[in-house]
Amino acid sequence: MTNPAPRIMPSDQDRVLIFDTTLRDGEQSPGATMTHDEKLEIAALLDEMGVDIIEAGFPIASIGDFEAVSDIARQAKNAVICGLARASMGDIDRCWEAVKHARRPRIHTFIGTSPLHRAIPNLDMDQMADRIHATVTHARNLCDNVQWSPMDATRTEHDYLCRVVEIAIKAGATTINIPDTVGYTAPRESAALIRMLLERVPGADSIIFATHCHNDLGMATANALAAVEAGARQIECTINGLGERAGNTALEEVVMALKVRNDIMPYRTGVDTTKIMNISRKVATVSGFPVQFNKAIVGKNAFAHESGIHQDGMLKNAETFEIMRPTDIGLSETNLVMGKHSGRAALRSKLADLGYELADNQLADVFVRFKALADRKKEVYDDDLIALMQDSTTSAEHDYMQIKHLRVVCGTEGPQTADLTMTIDGVDHSVHATGDGPVDATFAAVKALFPHTARLQLYQVHAVTEGTDAQATVSVRMEEDGKMVTGQSADTDTVVASAKAYVNALNKLILRRQKTKPAEAARQA
């Protein structure tokens, strides 16, 4: 038998479990596709930071999802590894096949219970109740840690919600999750719903209630915290609030709110908050969803004090305008400038401050890139180093195609031209292309060497720091047959960064094409 489900003991009533679904609900966000290796890396960071449960994916969805969940299950050291399954025996079996490798596996099965969702499988209330009983029983026969979710719970009739929650508990569910699937609820209602279930459902005190909120009305964090105050002891969330539409509850927000306002919300999580910034950057890079500058906790401006009055107050006493320390989330307090005379040891120590622990061979590679950057740019700031680290994770030697040489001619007289050499599957190819501007000419050259039908959905450029020698980070989102991928890159030359981001997206598209060949099990389901 596997290790038992995480339990909250009566003596530990202030402990709130953190369930991270960045790799499942987060990845479901159109365009936020991550590669297999990126998923494993994020799962390792989540495990290391003390997240209790990692929802690693939806194993029936594709072979790629299945393999990612299985490999994350094998690598996890502490966290419970959970997979999602619809209310069907085929889904649940496939989910178990993937999570069973974990030291602590969990099956999460769900069905939409609101009137609108009941109409989709065309089940009446009794038929749906029977399906819930059968599928939760089946899951529990495979795994002793089973989570059940009535999707769209916040728009489900209360009597029916009580009835199906009771059925799921009797069938063996150890966690009951209450999703606000469309981000419709508000804090008072979110609390009242949990309180109502605790009062009315027999056996409710023997399981853990979870809260799963979406941010359509900007209330996901408030709704999750209200549910905790009412008795929920698991918060479902994602890094940076990544997720479909307006996203999910942001992990960093609920964890820091519970830490900073522990005086009025006396609950604990097991998360090491100093790891927040590093994982936030990682998720932003691999998902291609940049964090908005004024985003709570992890936004670039969250700790920046621009106004004279604020700066003066901060210098006298940081608490005047700061309710938490930057170091609480893993931001270094100083922005020590590096330059071309900085040595390897200084770089290693600076990167460690920024949350990057590198092996000697990785440091050697990053040091070469750092020297090249410092040659072009007099002062190298923290943000430059972060962009450099992110770039080294997005451009890999084993990529199907890489840019070898690019020369672009631009100016007031058109057309602009690009001469490009790319290594594609180990062979060099060159082309000359023209376009309406340097980026258009460059993209035309890439397309001439690697013809494809993917459509460019988004092209975004950000300056990493100030000054005309600043690096640019470029994000490119592309769509092919309804599937989206995002590429990113950074360089002091905006056109080079653009070319590398475009090629990064195409490399992901190739991986995606291989991954989404329908899973054998999915065909049988």
d(CA 34, CA 242): 12
CB 72 within 8 A of CB 40: yes
Candidates 9-17, 44-52, 177-185, 483-491 — which segment interacts with ligand KIV by CB under 6 A? 177-185
The verdict on 303 binding ligand KIV (CB under 6 A) reads no
Minimum distance between the CB of residue 149 and ligand KIV, rounded to whole angstroms?
Answer: 4
φ, ψ (nearest 5 deg) of residue 206: -100, -5
Peptide bond into 202 cis (omega under 30): no
* Identified binder of ligand KIV from the candidate list 33, 181, 390, 507, rule CB under 6 A: 181
d(CA 94, CA 60): 6
The verdict on 212 binding ligand KIV (CB under 6 A) reads yes
The verdict on 180 binding Zn ion (CB under 5 A) reads no
Residue 218 contacts by C-beta under 8 Å, 6 or more apart in sequence? 246
Structure token digits, residue 286: 């691999």
112 bridge partner residues: 151
Structure token digits, residue 111: 């069905």
The verdict on 491 binding ligand KIV (CB under 6 A) reads no
* Identified binder of ligand KIV from the candidate list 59, 64, 105, 179, rule CB under 6 A: 179
Candidates 175-183, 200-208, 278-286, 379-387 — which segment interacts with ligand KIV by CB under 6 A? 175-183
Minimum distance between the CB of residue 306 and ligand KIV, rounded to whole angstroms?
Answer: 37
Complex with ligand KIV: residue 87 or 298, whichever CB lies closer: 87
* Identified binder of Zn ion from the candidate list 6, 23, 25, 420, rule CB under 5 A: 25
CB 285 within 8 A of CB 488: yes
Complex with Zn ion: residue 149 or 417, whichever CB lies closer: 149
d(CA 43, CA 47): 6
Minimum distance between the CB of residue 27 and ligand KIV, rounded to whole angstroms?
Answer: 12
**Residue showing the smallest CB distance to Zn ion in the complex:** 25
d(CA 136, CA 147): 9
- How many residues interact with ligand KIV (rule CB under 6 A)? 9
Minimum distance between the CB of residue 143 and ligand KIV, rounded to whole angstroms?
Answer: 17
Show the site string, 370-389: x = touches ligand KIV by CB under 6 A, - = not.
--------------------
The verdict on 267 binding ligand KIV (CB under 6 A) reads no
Minimum distance between the CB of residue 151 and Zn ion, rounded to whole angstroms?
Answer: 8
Strands (E) located in 214-352 = 234-237
Q: Residue type at 34?
A: M
Residue 346 CB coordination number (10 Å): 13
Considering only residues 138-157, where is the footprint of ligand KIV by CB under 6 A? 149, 151
List the single partner that 149 binds among Zn ion, ligand KIV, none, CB under 5 to 8 Å by kind: ligand KIV
* Per-residue exposure over 415-453, b if at least 16 CB sit within 10 Å of its own CB, e if not: ebbbbbbbbeeeeeeeeebebeebbbbbbbbbbbbbeee
Say how many CA atoms lie within 13 Å of 457 toward its Cβ: 17
Complex with ligand KIV: residue 22 or 181, whichever CB lies closer: 181
Binding positions for Zn ion, rule: CB under 5 A: 25
Residues that bind ligand KIV in the complex, under the rule CB under 6 A: 25, 110, 149, 151, 177, 179, 181, 212, 214
